[in-house]
């Protein structure tokens, strides 16, 4: 039988769920223990697959429940901004595109604000809010129920709406990438919209930081072979690089950023 988590380890998990990630120095000061003690706690939590180590700390590693949306914005924030800027450079003016839900796809939207002649179709209220004010960018929202936790429009109405279009580009995010190249997420309703987006775009651009290759999620969106370009900070997995090469996926690496 697994050993029960200590009260301190339970508090560490709670802090990580609230803020997206935890930092060794901050935890040591907050919990009034040594950094060595915190590192030992984090190592044990990672061994039990409850957390995943990142530079200077750790993040939640749940395979069935995603981290809170506001907290996800803080994870790999600099990497996501760089990925967003690099992706925007791949999108020409006067083109049409889908953008799905995700904190990384939001960074793509922010980087697209100087573009002209774009038609953006999205199921992401946050993306629409970023772009709708721009006179040279037309924004169309899908219909359907809005998920309160993150502003995602999901469900069969959104799927049917997406299927009315055939666009130049799809910019998609994912919650996890398996070593075999499977793209994974947590909500089957969201996945159905993402699937329709992939099926109705001429070119698919996946945007995901390296931590997505260290996580798991239960619902399959598709496979890397369905992607034309993969924009990431760094592709450290030899298996995923091999999948990309075999599937002729163009990989754009923007570099990693320390804390």
Domain, as residue range, for 25: 7-61
Task: Provide the number of structural domains found in the chain.
Answer: 2
Cβ neighbours, 10 Å, residue 186: 17
Q: Where are the alpha helices (DSSP H) in the chain?
A: 7-19, 24-31, 35-47, 69-72, 77-90, 103-111, 125-131, 156-162, 188-199, 238-246
| Residue 1 within any structural domain of the chain | no
Strand-pairing partners, residue 253, are: 232
| Residue 177 within any structural domain of the chain | yes
Residue-averaged pLDDT of the chain: 89
User: Are residue 247 and residue 147 in the same domain, yes or no?
Assistant: yes
| Residue 48 within any structural domain of the chain | yes
CB neighbours of 49 closer than 8 A, spacing ≥ 6?
Answer: 61, 63
| Residue 67 within any structural domain of the chain | no
pLDDT tens sequence across 62-84:
554 555 556 666 667 789 999 99
User: Are residue 124 and residue 44 in the same domain, yes or no?
Assistant: no
| Residue 2 within any structural domain of the chain | no
User: Are residue 105 and residue 212 in the same domain, yes or no?
Assistant: yes
User: Are residue 242 and residue 137 in the same domain, yes or no?
Assistant: yes
So what's the pLDDT on residue 1?
35
Do 106 and 155 touch, CB atoms closer than 8 A?
Answer: no
Which CATH number characterizes residue 43's domain?
1.10.10.10
User: Are residue 120 and residue 49 in the same domain, yes or no?
Assistant: no
Which CATH number characterizes residue 205's domain?
3.40.50.1360
Buried b (16+ CB within 10 A) or exposed e, 238-254: eebeebbeeeebebbbb
Strand-pairing partners, residue 119, are: 96, 138
| Residue 174 within any structural domain of the chain | yes
User: Are residue 151 and residue 85 in the same domain, yes or no?
Assistant: yes
Tokens of 222: 């598709």
pLDDT tens sequence across 38-59:
999 998 888 877 787 877 888 8
Cβ neighbours, 10 Å, residue 53: 16
User: Are residue 124 and residue 219 in the same domain, yes or no?
Assistant: yes
């Amino acid at each position: 039988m697994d050993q029960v988590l200590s009260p301190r380890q339970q508090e560490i998990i709670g802090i990580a769920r609230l803020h997206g990630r935890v930092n060794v120095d901050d935890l040591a000061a907050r919990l009034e223990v040594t950094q060595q003690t915190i590192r030992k706690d984090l190592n044990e939590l990672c061994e039990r697959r409850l957390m995943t180590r990142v530079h200077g700390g750790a993040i939640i590693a749940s395979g069935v429940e995603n981290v809170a949306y506001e907290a996800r914005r803080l994870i790999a924030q600099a990497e996501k901004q760089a990925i967003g800027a690099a992706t925007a450079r791949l999108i020409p003016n006067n083109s049409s595109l889908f953008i799905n839900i995700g904190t990384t796809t939001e960074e793509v939207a922010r980087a697209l604000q100087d573009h002209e002649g774009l038609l953006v179709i999205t199921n992401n209220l946050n993306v629409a809010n970023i772009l709708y004010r721009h006179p040279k960018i037309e924004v169309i929202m899908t219909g359907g129920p809005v998920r309160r936790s993150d502003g995602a429009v999901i469900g069969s109405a959104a799927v049917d709406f997406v299927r009315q279009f055939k666009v130049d580009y799809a910019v998609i995010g994912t919650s996890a990438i398996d070593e075999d190249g499977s793209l994974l997420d947590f909500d089957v309703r969201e996945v159905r919209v993402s699937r329709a987006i992939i099926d109705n775009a001429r070119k698919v651009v996946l945007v995901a930081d390296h931590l997505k290759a260290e996580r798991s999620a239960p619902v399959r969106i598709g496979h890397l072979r369905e992607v034309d370009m993969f924009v990431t900070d760094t592709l450290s997995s030899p298996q995923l690089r091999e999948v990309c090469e075999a599937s002729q996926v163009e990989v754009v690496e923007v570099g990693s950023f320390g804390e």
